[in-house]
Structure 1
Amino acid sequence: MQITRSTVDTAKGPADWFTGDVYIDVVAAAPAPSRITANLVHFMPGARTHWHRHPLSQTVFVTEGIGLCQRRGGSVEIIRPGDRVLFEADEEHWHGAAPNRLMVHLAVNEGDTDHDVVHWLDPVTDDEYAAAPPLT
């Protein structure tokens, strides 16, 4: 068993990856040959990722609040605590908080010497974000 005491500060999500206030806590970044990374990502109300894709897929597990997600060409979906979303390899998508609720999720990604963890694309427009169904 190995316990790693938290010594890494919470990082502010960069503006070239996110719209709004987003904060990231590293959960797992094991050394090679491991390919897995995990981050706890905190989205303030209205905050969201830019469009992006993961060459080896991504799973997000919602732990708190209410969020939204969308794959390119699909409808905006509401996600809640306990929901698990798998974004397939190279599937362009975004995810973030609902307009009036924060959302926290655990993001699990893979990367290796041949595949970057993520490729960032263009910001999600306000019109794309506003296409979310009403929260019920």
Structure 2
Amino acid sequence: MQIDPTPATVKNPPEQFTGDVWVDMVAVPHAEGQRMSVATVRFAPGARTAWHSHARGQYLRVTQGVALVGGRDGTVHEVRPGQTLYTAPGEEHWHGATPDCWMEHLAMLESADDPATTTTWLEHVTDEEYRG
């Protein structure tokens, strides 16, 4: 049993995000065979990820504000506090805050066999895609 040290809050890179986004790691694998990572991610109003996918899928649990989550079919879902959204392995999507509200979610995912392929980052989301 152990209590992990509190890691520093990290601002996410502009290559993968539009606007200001911060991440705090909650859980990372400790032993061989463990894959689960959990992070608290905070988005300033209007901030969002670039298009991306996850090799083993992802769960997003909104804890504050309202999340917007978009798919390649043009659908944009609103996800509210207490709701959890799942994206399937390989499903290209983006997520972020509404234009006028901060948003926080827990991001939960398992790493791929090759950790470098856990998340595949793609192009930035256009303003038109963000507005739905």
Verify same fold: TM over 0.5: yes
Query: 1:88 corresponds to which letter in structure 2?
Result: A
Q: Does 2:86 match 1:93?
A: no
Query: 1:18 corresponds to which letter in structure 2?
Result: F
Match of 1:78 in 2: 78
Quick one: percent identity of the two aligned structures?
Answer: 44
Unmatched segments (≥5 aa) in structure 2: none
Query: 2:127 corresponds to which letter in structure 1?
Result: D
Q: CA deviation at 1:70?
A: 1.2
| Counterparts of 2:58 and 2:112, CA distance in 1 | 14
- Cα offsets for 1:82-128 (capped at 9, x unmatched): 11000000000000000000110000011133462200000000011
Match of 2:106 in 1: 106
Q: Is the 8 A contact 2:56 2:112 kept in 1?
A: no
| Counterparts of 1:46 and 1:52, CA distance in 2 | 18
TM-score normalised by L of structure 2 = 0.93
Q: Is the 8 A contact 2:70 2:130 kept in 1?
A: no
| Counterparts of 1:48 and 1:106, CA distance in 2 | 15
* Aligned-partner SS, 2:45: coil
Q: CA deviation at 1:72?
A: 1.1
Query: 1:104 corresponds to which letter in structure 2?
Result: E
Match of 1:13 in 2: 12
Unmatched segments (≥5 aa) in structure 1: 132-136
